[in-house]
Amino acid sequence: MITVKKLIKRFGLKTILRGLDFSVESGEFVALLGPNGAGKTTFLRILATLSRPSMGYVKVAGHHLPKEAAQVRAKLGVVSHLPLLYPDLTAEENLRFYAQMYGVANYASRITEVLGMVGLENRRKDLVRTFSRGMQQRLAIGRAVIHDPEVMLFDEPYTGLDQDASEMLDEVLRSVAAEGRTVVMTSHDLARAEDLATRFDILSRGVIIASAAQKELQNSNLLTFYKQALAD
């Protein structure tokens, strides 16, 4: 579903991604771990068509980036620590706006389905500005899945959430993954990702330095590499 080879991203004289190789099979949930400044957000922005690679090969959902960005966007759902919602619209109105933008057929029933999935059906008529941070993040996931994307990208979605909101978000992420979508989530919290992902990759200084499947995690050296990356 995602194939990246020899990806380089430069900002002026500064190189952020240094020949990164990365691939994800359909239905995998990959946690991309690493310290701040490792290049996680830069990498996800490239996958999300929000930034162009300086060099390298990037293919998402059967389409090449950057030349087929429009086709990729139609198959993507993107969630970051910014919910990208309209605070003076209701939850329902926000989802209707995005559903119409994506050309979702029968969007009224889809909105009801998505609000149920993220646990906000009883708040559908409430203005988003009255929502807690955790509720906004759940609605942001609803926004991102309204068009039933094949690939979901989560960039540090737990930023700013308290413990209760984080646990609610865990359940929503499990629901998203259980529907068979391909998921890539950046995080610096291995403990949180451990309960969600099927694979863990460590990004440090612009390259993947270690990878392990969920079933291999306890018997791998990934934790050692993770601590090393944080120390660097």
- Bridge-based pairing of strands 2-11 and 14-24 is antiparallel
pLDDT of 218 over the 80 cut: no
Amino acid making up residue 54? S
Q: What is the DSSP string of 88-137?
A: TSBHHHHHHHHHHHTT-TTHHHHHHHHHHHTT-GGGTTSBGGGS-HHHHH
What pTM value is reported for the model? 0.91
How far apart (Å, rounded) are the C-alpha atoms in residues 104 and 188?
Answer: 34
pLDDT, position 172: 85
Report all structural domains of the chain as residue ranges with CATH numbers, in order of start. 28-41+70-231 (3.40.50.300)
How far apart are alpha carbons 131 and 129 in whole angstroms? Answer: 5
- Determine contact, residues 167/192, Cβ cutoff 8 Å: no
Mention every residue, 6+ apart, whose C-beta is less than 8 A from residue 64. 57, 58
How do beta strands 182-187 and 151-155 pair? parallel
Task: Establish whether the linkage from the previous residue to 66 is cis, with ω within 30° of 0.
Answer: yes
pLDDT of amino acid 120 = 95
Q: What does the pLDDT look like over 14-43, one tens digit per residue? A: 999 999 999 999 999 999 998 888 899 999
Confidence of residue 217 (pLDDT cuts 50, 70, 90): confident
pLDDT in tens, 122-158: 999 999 999 999 999 999 999 999 999 999 999 998 8
User: Stretch 75-104: mean pLDDT, rounded?
Assistant: 95
